[in-house]
Amino acid sequence: MISTKAMKPALQHAYVKLMMDVIGRGLVMASQVDAEIQEEISKFPVNFILSMNVFPNGPAFIAQVTKDKKLKLISLEQGKPDLTITFKHLTHAFLVFSFQESTAQAFANDRMIADGDVSSAIRLVRCLNKMEALILPKVVASLAVKQYPTELSLKDKLSEAANIYLKVAQSYLKRSI
């Protein structure tokens, strides 16, 4: 693991920006692939906007619930978020995105603020945890989530992870064309 003190702020910012983009895209693609995430997303109202950012003007992603109860990435100009999860400092985001601290631990350590309905924030964290359990190696995912899902078989993990990674890669290719 990379120490937060050893990494310069500019590199931390670049890393968090990259990870925020990957997590935003990963969450959108996981909402198309994973039944558990789809179930959680279906409980949000249509056009519900959620975001995650770093205070004050750091890296962010914004997603909206579509009519078919999936997520799509949008820009801030397209609407005010109904739920925003904000890291209080870039270093706090780096701790989570470098898997030195789980999302649940970051909330417990008061490193993040949820602006919106608490039950929606919990639902979003469950989606993030499931996505991380799917796309990360088990040893890393175990550091990232409060509790690694015991019912997640290796076959399901590999199948869904491959599908999510493929869709994320395709989203980057579409953006560059």
Please count the other Cβ atoms lying within 10 Å of the Cβ belonging to residue 114.
16
Ordered structural domains, the chain, with CATH: 9-167 (3.30.1050.10)
Rounded Cα distance, 77 and 74, in Å: 8
Tokens of 127: 């989606």
Between the alpha carbon of residue 140 and those of residues 47, 81, 146, 147, 167, the distances in Å are 33, 30, 12, 12, 21
Specify the pTM: 0.83
Query: What are the pLDDT tens digits along the chain (177 aa)?
Result: 555 556 688 899 999 999 999 999 999 999 999 999 999 999 999 999 999 999 998 999 999 999 999 999 998 778 789 999 999 999 999 999 998 888 888 888 999 999 999 999 999 988 988 888 888 887 887 777 777 777 887 888 888 888 888 888 888 888 655
